[in-house]
Structure 1
Amino acid sequence: MFDFILGLPMHALVVHGLVVLVPLLAVLAALFALVPRWRGPLRWATATGAVLAAGLAWVGAESGEALLVRISQVRAASTDFELVQAHVDAGYRVRLAATVFMAIVLAAAWLLGPRSREDVTTRPLEVILAVLVVLASLSLVVTIVLAGHAGSAAVWSDLG
């Protein structure tokens, strides 16, 4: 089920979607958290993006498992499985980071409302959630970069 889409490895398609989506979503989530007057327009786009990113992270991990089985059968002799295992471990961290990011963004979308320009009071919950959203955004971007680097090392290490 998680092997191919139209003859192409699903894993490559899904992870490239994450590589594009996550940095854009991280900026969107940070803007949602840090600019109270933008919360209304950004609320549902940010929440939907967080759910999509988490879903893609889970599909990426599952499709990676399917790809690993195929590589083990077809290219076992020419594959550096230590590099592959480093990528697998990084992929699990992406899945965890995306799930945590989704939970924090959904909580923020639920609890943080837009404010008018006149309302300048800062609420402790607002500050805590804004900090958590920004930290979760950064964490997800870093884990995506590290997983991508580990994946490219596993794929391209034998080229020199």
Structure 2
Amino acid sequence: MTTIAGIPAHALLVHAIVVFVPLVALLEILCGFWPAARRRLVWLVVALAAVNLVLTPITTEAGEWLIKQGGSPRPILIEHAERGDWMIYFSVALLVVAIALAVLHVLETRSKPPKKVATILVAVVALAVGVSSVVTVVRIGDAGAQAVWGERG
């Protein structure tokens, strides 16, 4: 995908990632530590994490196309692209956590609920993955903003 209505696709798609990653991260942390939220939101979290995972490589590919249109990229733009390439790993991790939360939810509805240690482990992993994913999006976005509007580079 190169452009949407004449606008570079990356410029539009990146906004979806900037919304989805913190939203999924927050919901996963909430579902990890609050069982009532997990009962109500877990399937929405799985769906949002899946959409995020699909959009991530589309967004990075659109960014790669955009970089190739401008000739020799400045160092900050290269840094932005390199950071952006790491986002797929965080998107996969967000989906894995969402699936783990869904498994917990299903197990909780059965007669033999999961052990407390499993619930705590999933909550801690949700916190770690959520925070690190948001930090990564901020770092990628900062490099992108510096490339477009900043002084670096």
TM range (shorter): 0.7 to 0.9
User: Could you say which residue in structure 1 is the equivalent of 2:145?
Assistant: 152
What is the distance in 2 between the residues matched to 1:18 and 1:124?
A: 32
**Map 1:79-94 → 2, pairs under 5 A:** 79-80=73-74, 82-94=75-87
Q: 8 Å contact 2:28–2:97 — kept in the other structure?
A: no
Amino acid aligned to 2:132: S
User: Could you say which residue in structure 1 is the equivalent of 2:25?
Assistant: 26
User: Could you say which residue in structure 2 is the equivalent of 1:96?
Assistant: 89
Amino acid aligned to 2:120: V
What is the distance in 1 between the residues matched to 2:108 and 2:101?
A: 14
Q: 8 Å contact 1:57–1:95 — kept in the other structure?
A: yes
What is the distance in 2 between the residues matched to 1:38 and 1:100?
A: 20
Cα drift, residue 139 of structure 1: 0.9
Match of 1:139 among 108, 125, 132: 132
Identity across the alignment (%): 30
Alignment length, in residue pairs? 149
**1:124-147: CA deviation from partner (whole Å, max 9, x where unpaired):** 111111111111111110000000
What TM-score results when the alignment is normalised by the length of structure 1? Answer: 0.83
User: Could you say which residue in structure 2 is the equivalent of 1:68?
Assistant: 67
What is the distance in 1 between the residues matched to 2:104 and 2:151?
A: 50
User: Could you say which residue in structure 2 is the equivalent of 1:50?
Assistant: 49
What TM-score results when the alignment is normalised by the length of structure 2? Answer: 0.87
Unaligned runs of at least 5 residues, structure 1: none
Q: 8 Å contact 2:97–2:122 — kept in the other structure?
A: yes
Amino acid aligned to 1:22: V
Q: Secondary structure at the match of 1:19?
A: helix
What is the distance in 2 between the residues matched to 1:8 and 1:50?
A: 26
